Structure 1
Amino acid sequence: MRALVEKPATKLPIMMMIGISWLAIMFSLSAGQEIDRPSEDSNGTSTGGDERLQVTIYYETLCYDSISFITNHLAPSWGRHRDRMDLKLVPFGKAYIDDSNPSEPVYYCQHGHRECTLNILHGCILDKLPLEKAFPVIACLMKGFRTSFDQCYKQDLASKEEIQKCANGEQGAKLFKRSSDETNRVATPLSFVPTIEVDKNYDIFEQDRWLYRFDRTFREEFENKFNKTLD
């Protein structure tokens, strides 16, 4: 009969082993999660994000210097380094908004009324399209003084109509005011158009270097910030 009596004590080591195994699994999973988590600096900011140098261009649509810079310097460099360039375009320049009557603001642009209309159109293009699609349209428009939106826009009709509606309506006016505020934050008025800001820092003494040697300067500044060389 003694051989038929179950000994409770023999279950204890089995249950302990299951418990220990379970704890080991949980610890392993927890440790794995910690390893996969991106590192953070002392401010809690992730250091595992993409490495892109922020560049903001303040320009005018009918300014010869803006046309020359975007066509001959910015567009080729963006084509080579778009994955490393956090580019922002602000079409306003030395324009002025008289909003003494908020319901009917009056726009003044350095190169006339047509430039105001085009500045607003550029703002709507940049707002309605991701930069990957917007920049080729902007670059095309900036190839000359008479390049038309119809010539440069080769994407879907629905987006084209949305952009045109924006440019002719209240939304375009709001975007133009936002461009005004962003430009005035740098200087009122700008000393030169285009003006280039890097990492939200405007340095008047560095403008010539950026304007006339943009690609080389971008690569140098990227290497200085990230300690990596661009081709």
Structure 2
Amino acid sequence: MKSAKYLLAFIIIIKIDTSLSRVKVAVYYETMCPHSINFVRNKFHPYYKVLKDYIQVEWIPYGRSNHTRVNGKWQIQCKNGKDECKSNKFQVCALEEGRSQDKNVDFITCVLSLGYPGHTRGIEDCADRNSFDWAAIMECFENGRGDELMAKMGQKTRRLAPRLKQVPTIVYNDTFDGRLCDLALNDFVKTTCSMIIGQKPSIC
């Protein structure tokens, strides 16, 4: 009986340690940027399923945008125009729902795989396909909450040191390293595998 208790405790400890050892991967991107689209669609998403138990993914759809507060309201100007701002805001409102990492990844990939990622109907379809609450997303989009979330994305982007110069930018474990970013953009799997401590997925 005692040995069974010890075995259970051991299993729980191992599970906790594995969870804590996940590599954090932050993707700073612009929805309408061809380089961002290419990275998510062709270098990140095809390998996500084999890496997902080893990484914690954060999405920051802001890039080289600007935000200023005018008469108590946030004004957002995006590098690739108003439709990019619209799509970015829909995305942060969806992420605010707190769905699983898998759902968030599939939703973001779906949006960036649209023929035109700024098309509202297409974004709604991506939300529906991945079980997001479109009514809640629209409420967030229209009531000012989406602008607040975008401003937070901007603040996070501006805190990068050195400052963001290219899109997409990949940051591991909350510490920006330009060399690692360049390596990740070239070979995301190999670079991410190098960051995983201990047992690695088969693709490594």
TM-score normalised by the chain length of structure 1: 0.74
Residues of 2 paired with 1:157 and 1:55: CA distance? 24
Q: 1:207, CA displacement in angstroms?
A: 2.0
Matched-pair contact (CA < 8 Å) for 2:93–2:149: yes
Residues of 1 paired with 2:161 and 2:84: CA distance? 20
Aligned length: 196
- Partner SS state of residue 62, structure 1: coil
Look up the equivalent residue of 1:54 and give its one-letter code.
Answer: K
Give the greater-gyration-radius structure (CA): 1
Matched-pair contact (CA < 8 Å) for 2:127–2:133: no
Residue in 2 that maps onto 1:104: 73
Matched-pair contact (CA < 8 Å) for 1:98–1:105: yes
Match of 1:94 among 49, 64, 75: 64
- Partner SS state of residue 133, structure 2: helix
Residue in 1 that maps onto 2:42: 72
Within the alignment, does 1:194 sit opposite 2:164 as a pair?
no
Q: 1:157, CA displacement in angstroms?
A: 7.7
Within the alignment, does 1:185 sit opposite 2:185 as a pair?
no
Q: 1:200, CA displacement in angstroms?
A: 1.0
Residue in 2 that maps onto 1:151: 125
Residues of 2 paired with 1:64 and 1:221: CA distance? 27
List gaps (5 residues or longer) in structure 1. Answer: 1-27, 40-45
Match of 2:147 among 173, 183, 194: 173
Residue in 1 that maps onto 2:9: 36
Residues of 2 paired with 1:105 and 1:179: CA distance? 12
Structure ranking higher on relative contact order (CA contacts 8 Å, 6+ apart): 2
Residue in 1 that maps onto 2:136: 162
Matched-pair contact (CA < 8 Å) for 1:95–1:110: yes
Distance 1:136 1:47, change over 3 A: closer
Distance 1:229 1:79, change over 3 A: closer
Query: Map of 1:125-140 to 2, 5 A cutoff?
Result: 125-128=94-97, 129-140=99-110
Moved more, 113-122 or 148-157: 148-157
Q: 1:53, CA displacement in angstroms?
A: 1.2
Q: What is the Cα-based RMSD across aligned positions, in Å? A: 2.8
Q: 1:81, CA displacement in angstroms?
A: 1.3
Residues of 2 paired with 1:127 and 1:54: CA distance? 18
Q: 1:189, CA displacement in angstroms?
A: 5.0
- Partner SS state of residue 42, structure 2: helix
Within the alignment, does 1:119 sit opposite 2:88 as a pair?
yes
Residue in 2 that maps onto 1:220: 194
Residues of 1 paired with 2:143 and 2:202: CA distance? 42
List gaps (5 residues or longer) in structure 2. Answer: none
TM-score normalised by the chain length of structure 2: 0.83
Residues of 2 paired with 1:96 and 1:176: CA distance? 10
Look up the equivalent residue of 2:76 and give its one-letter code.
Answer: Y
- Could you tell me the percent identity over the aligned residues? 23
